[in-house]
């Protein structure tokens, strides 16, 4: 069923794209040696470099719903919207483990605070460089003269008592408001996945789940766009270089292993991300940059080599972190560990997988996809660590406890077969539409960013009005009363 959901969502996003809006929590990317991209309607645009910023492996950033930068971090320091370090944050995470930021892959992530309809509050979850434990602090974009400041009383609070392995991530709860925060334990070996719940009261421990084997501490961890899977690269510092895919339950936060894979590359995988449709996983190796496509078929993982960089070997031209972008493409940072050796222009570009949803091996990979305006990513592996901020509630599921009463929830809804006749006419109009149905239920309309623009009860013939909204594509969800049966229809407003 989740594949039906993903297929529709992908078709909509690929045809029209959130990039047509140019807005969202992941609009600004700050990474590398102060590299700064903004995703706009025309695609990624390079902005002026952030002076004094460097992120070796850990990086995150967050913008407001309008796409305005709020804050960013390299897991050691925290910058506000004015591109300066936020007052009072110097002591939050003392002492980098590397000369240019944290050497913990994806050790921090920024999220909108649950239930904040004002779009002012944002939390940063980060891994302490000295203790290896996870903490969080709350920020308000209206403080510090509108340049973002710390919220008193919610500063440097603990998430888990455990030391964690590399990579912290988050998946939206099935209620569409709260967040599951996820990391891995770290002792002599990592053998469990830790889960905490963030709701409007804060972050609390939830549970930990055995992964079924002992794994090394390093590697990137990436949720699927629909939040139903978690892919983890266990690599880099000894032991078996496993790659694992786990099923994730957005309602109760539980995790079950689906399959593991011993990569066909000696050094194991490093960067990991999903395609937008959730059907493919992309991973790379740092040793002589190789790119792989991984797929789960009949419960079995397989990896296929897509690309081997023809340049020099280890410590020269490498592939760094991978990240699914607002335009539906996958981006990879190109790494050269020193200014000497290797292909000089290699780190001056981000690599791009232009068609990651293609089921075949061809995915239009371009090593030299986005020119970084002369600021090369030498000696850094980072791209910003993002969650899927647009993931909405599992409407009709047991954990959908907030909609339709809580109208602050957003995002395109799940797709299920519908029972009974219904239609929305016309499909193209200047703003006036009519829902015709033989049953009663709820009508929800979102724009392609996922912002809710209409929510109303329908019974029989029900007109609704989009005339006050910008021209573009909108998504209507019909949820029949007393049933999980739903369907989505795309509308075009001229």
Q: Which residue has the tokens 């068609």?
A: 355
Region 191-209: what's the mean pLDDT? Answer: 93
Around 122, how many Cα atoms within 13 Å sit in the side-chain half-sphere? 31
State the pLDDT at residue 409.
42
**Cβ contact 213:230 at 8 Å:** no
Lowest mean pLDDT among 147-156, 217-226, 280-289, 359-368: 280-289
In a domain, 408, yes or no: no
Domain boundary among 339, 371, 403: 371
Specify the number of domains making up the chain.
2
Host domain of residue 486: 422-493
Q: How far apart are the first and last CA of the chain?
A: 33
The 10s digit of each residue's pLDDT in 257-295 is 999 988 877 778 889 999 999 999 999 986 667 899 999
pLDDT-derived band at 99 (thresholds 50, 70, 90) equals: low
Instruction: For residue 328, give every residue at least 6 positions away whose Cβ sits within 8 Å of its Cβ, in sequence order, or none.
Output: 13, 14, 17, 18, 19, 276, 356, 357
In a domain, 18, yes or no: yes
Whether 221 and 307 share a structural domain: yes
The 10s digit of each residue's pLDDT in 429-462 is 888 998 888 877 778 887 765 677 888 788 878 8
φ, ψ of residue 435 to 5 degrees: the values are: -95, 125
Q: Which residues pair with 97 in a beta bridge?
A: none
Nearest one of 33, 36, 129 to 81, comparing CA atoms: 36
State the pLDDT at residue 6.
36
pTM value surpassing 0.75: yes
Q: Cα torsion at 401, 403, 406, 408 (round to 10°)?
A: 120
CA–CA gap between residue 394 and residue 416 (Å, rounded): 11
Mean pLDDT of the chain: 84
In a domain, 393, yes or no: no
In a domain, 412, yes or no: no
pLDDT at 1 over 60: no
CA–CA gap between residue 193 and residue 185 (Å, rounded): 6
Domain boundary among 338, 371, 404: 371
Whether 311 and 438 share a structural domain: no
Around 458, how many Cα atoms within 13 Å sit in the side-chain half-sphere? 27
Whether 316 and 431 share a structural domain: no
CA–CA gap between residue 466 and residue 378 (Å, rounded): 49
Nearest one of 70, 103, 95 to 382, comparing CA atoms: 103
Query: CATH number of the domain that 155 lies in?
Result: 2.130.10.10
Whether 444 and 354 share a structural domain: no
pLDDT at 314 over 50: no
Whether 87 and 170 share a structural domain: yes
Whether 367 and 469 share a structural domain: no
**Cβ contact 68:26 at 8 Å:** no
CA–CA gap between residue 451 and residue 412 (Å, rounded): 8
**Cβ contact 462:435 at 8 Å:** yes
Lowest mean pLDDT among 63-72, 121-130, 390-399, 402-411: 402-411
pLDDT at 83 over 90: yes
State the pLDDT at residue 420.
53
Q: Quick one: DSSP state of residue 12?
A: H
Q: What is the DSSP string of 82-110?
A: TSSBPTT-TTTS-S-SBTTB--STT-EEE
In a domain, 417, yes or no: no
CA–CA gap between residue 347 and residue 378 (Å, rounded): 6
Region 382-408: what's the mean pLDDT? Answer: 79
Whether 16 and 159 share a structural domain: yes
In a domain, 85, yes or no: yes
């Amino acid at each position: 069923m989740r594949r039906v959901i993903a297929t529709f969502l992908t078709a909509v996003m690929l045809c029209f794209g959130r990039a047509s809006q140019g807005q969202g929590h992941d609009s600004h990317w700050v990474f590398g040696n102060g590299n700064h991209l903004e995703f706009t309607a025309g695609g990624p645009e390079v902005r002026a470099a952030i002076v004094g910023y460097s992120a070796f492996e850990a990086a995150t950033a967050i913008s407001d719903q309008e796409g305005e930068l709020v804050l960013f971090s390299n897991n050691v320091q925290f910058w506000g919207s004015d591109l300066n370090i936020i007052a009072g944050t110097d002591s939050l995470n003392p002492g980098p483990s590397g000369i240019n930021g944290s050497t913990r892959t994806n050790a921090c992530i920024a999220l909108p605070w649950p239930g904040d309809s004002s779009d002012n509050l944002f939390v940063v979850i980060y891994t302490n460089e000295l203790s290896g434990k996870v903490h969080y602090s709350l920020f308000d974009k209206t403080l510090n003269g509108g340049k973002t400041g710390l919220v008193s009383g919610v500063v440097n609070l603990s998430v888990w008592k455990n030391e964690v392995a590399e990579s912290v991530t988050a998946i939206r709860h099935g209620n569409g408001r709260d967040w599951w925060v996820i990391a891995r334990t770290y002792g002599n070996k990592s053998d469990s996945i830790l889960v905490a719940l963030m709701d409007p009261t804060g972050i609390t421990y939830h549970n930990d789940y055995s992964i079924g084997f002992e794994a090394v501490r390093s590697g990137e961890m990436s949720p699927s766009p629909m939040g139903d899977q978690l892919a983890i690269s266990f690599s880099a510092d000894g032991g078996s270089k496993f790659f694992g895919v786990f099923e994730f339950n957005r309602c109760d936060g539980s995790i079950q292993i689906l399959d593991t894979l011993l990569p066909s590359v000696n050094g194991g995988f490093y960067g990991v991300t999903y395609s937008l449709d959730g059907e493919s996983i992309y991973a790379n190796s740092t040793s002589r940059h190789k790119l792989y496509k991984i797929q789960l078929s009949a419960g079995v993982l397989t990896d296929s080599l897509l690309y081997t960089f023809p340049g020099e070997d280890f410590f020269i031209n490498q592939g760094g972190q991978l990240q699914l972008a607002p335009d539906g493409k996958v981006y990879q940072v190109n790494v050269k560990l020193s200014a000497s050796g290797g292909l000089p222009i290699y780190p001056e570009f981000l690599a791009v997988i232009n068609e990651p949803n293609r089921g075949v091996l061809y995915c239009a990979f371009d090593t030299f996809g986005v020119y970084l305006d002369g600021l090369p990513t030498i000696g850094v592996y980072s791209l910003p660590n993002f969650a899927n901020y647009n993931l909405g509630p599992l409407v009709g599921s047991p954990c959908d406890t907030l909609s339709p009463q809580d109208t602050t929830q957003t995002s395109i809804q799940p797709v299920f077969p519908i029972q009974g006749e219904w239609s929305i006419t016309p499909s193209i109009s200047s703003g006036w539409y009519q829902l015709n149905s033989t049953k009663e239920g709820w009508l929800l309309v979102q724009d392609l960013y996922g912002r809710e623009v209409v929510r109303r009860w329908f019974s029989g013939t029900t007109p609704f009005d989009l005339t006050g909204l910008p021209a573009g594509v909108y998504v209507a969800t019909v949820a029949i009363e007393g049933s999980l049966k739903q369907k989505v229809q795309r509308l075009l407003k001229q």
